[in-house]
A and B are shown apart, each in its own frame.
Chain A
Amino acid sequence: MSDSFTAKIWVLGDDIDTDIILPTEYLAMKTVQDMKPYAFSPLRPELAEKIKPGDMIVAGKNFGCGSSREQAPEVVKALGVSCVVAKSYARIFFRNAINNGLLLIENQDLYDEVKEGDVATVTPGKSIEVNGKTYEIASLPDNLMDILNAGGLVQAMRKKNGLD
């Protein structure tokens, strides 16, 4: 995984569902770039414009619950979000994020202790530092690391098919 990076925090709540991350109305747009302005629009219509590449999202429990739409993690990634830190994730969103190389971090405390606009230093697989406090974070299981290390599932399959 990459080295440490610093990121500005945007805070969302519990149960941020996939319809909030990207409403159905926009799922059929031809590219994820087209979908970007509508990310999080039911909840915070202004957010997509405000998020800058490298920023991070901190949320409560069950982030990404709901549908299997992979456009959801793809659009978060396309906004340039460096990572999401949540208390827990819905399982389909979790798999989809890994397959697209979007870093998801599970942490029980961060959400309750930071506020929007705080800046964190993230060291993947090790820790997050923010407001002078250090939060330990776990590494991912090996099979997921394999996909992440390959650069996502498409790259892993290309390798398997002898293309790269």
Chain B
Amino acid sequence: MTHDVIVLGAGPAGANAALAAAEAGLKVVLFEQQPAAGGQVWRAPLPGLRMPSSPEKDSGDALRARLAASAVEIRFGRTVWSVGQHFRVDAVGPGGNEHAEAPRLIAATGAHERVVPFPGWTLPGVIGLAAATVLLKSHGALPGTRVVVAGCGPLLAVVAAGILKAGGTVAAIADLAGPGDWLKALPALASQPRLLMRGAAWALKIGGARIPVHFRHGVRAADGGEAIEQVRLAPVDAAGGFSAGPEITLAADALCVGHGLVPGAEIPRLFRTAQTFDRRRGGFIPRLDACGRTSLNGLYACGDGVGIRGALVAEAAGRLAGLASAHDAGALSADAFAAAAGQARARIAQARAFSDAMAEMMALRPAQVAAIPPETVVCRCEDVTRADIEAAHADGARDLNQLKQFTRCGMGPCQGRFCGDVAGELLAAKVGSREAVGAFTARPPLRPVPLADLMGAFDYADIPIPAPAPL
């Protein structure tokens, strides 16, 4: 064993898990694909780029400073591709393939964006809402010169206000929710005054710039040739399906659109731990105990990768998982663990109303999926349309993995991350339930990995070729 615990992902959850375990005296290694910690929510600006201050950047800077001052061994710029039993983690990085081994593993791999398909969503210039936050926070770039912002949840305001702050132009905002939905969420949002104020500041920025906000509107289509040229919005009902009413056509060279987040629970799934389908939490999530322990001994999971709850909960849940790993390793007494865990759990309880309200606004709306036109691509990697998926059902496909074999849906390089949720929903509409159609089986590599990086330099004579097969 090279370490006491391995942590995957340096967002709010993983970084806090690593810090808590290291503070308790464990030898911790933290793997992260990006060049700096912070995850998507507190993402660091690229090296050499100075960005104006913001509460998110300040939170990220504070976390990065704590990590830098800690005993955590941090390996940035690593693509983890293999995670094996007794917890061996293999990653490719600047020095080729490397691995670490530890009796405990904390998976904090975050979430990815859900975009419910519409005609034209594959056009260059159409990007996710979370994608837009990366451009704004980290790359110092605008999504376009005239941007439509659409979808649901708090990222709408984050992105629109961010574009304005960076000097860009927002043509309009289209929100699947109505003002009534936001009002309904208000008491829960008020439970976190600092975050509510942040939201109010975004709203003021947007209001001050007189940006048209179309409530209860969704994207009917994005039109263009080699890239997006215009966006057509149409009214939707409370369930997310299109309703009667005029379309709004807007010229735009960028559309930032997102419909919530999907937990990236690949590591627990790879180990086949118990999981459950939770619509509000974003999809299939691992079953955990109160401290982030999965059903597999030594495997912990935390953050948005185990259900969408946001950064506030991720920080505390990460700390809890780190503490639990230290306690299980014998590095933290029962009393010390109980006291520290109690504080972290209290923070999660305090944040619950807020995170539930936000997750609710970002949950998948089945009527929106039902409105996808038949010829629209669902699996971007393999050009599989809704009609292809339904034809596979007619041909006997009853679960997602069978659908994959029949159509190649989910077989491409994104490994089903962008189609799995919606394809599951389409199939479930025919078969009966999401539980029945299941999730794509998780397979290594966790992300596509270049063969060149994987192999490194080698001599043919050193390849450990097994004994010849029988003749």
Same assembly: no
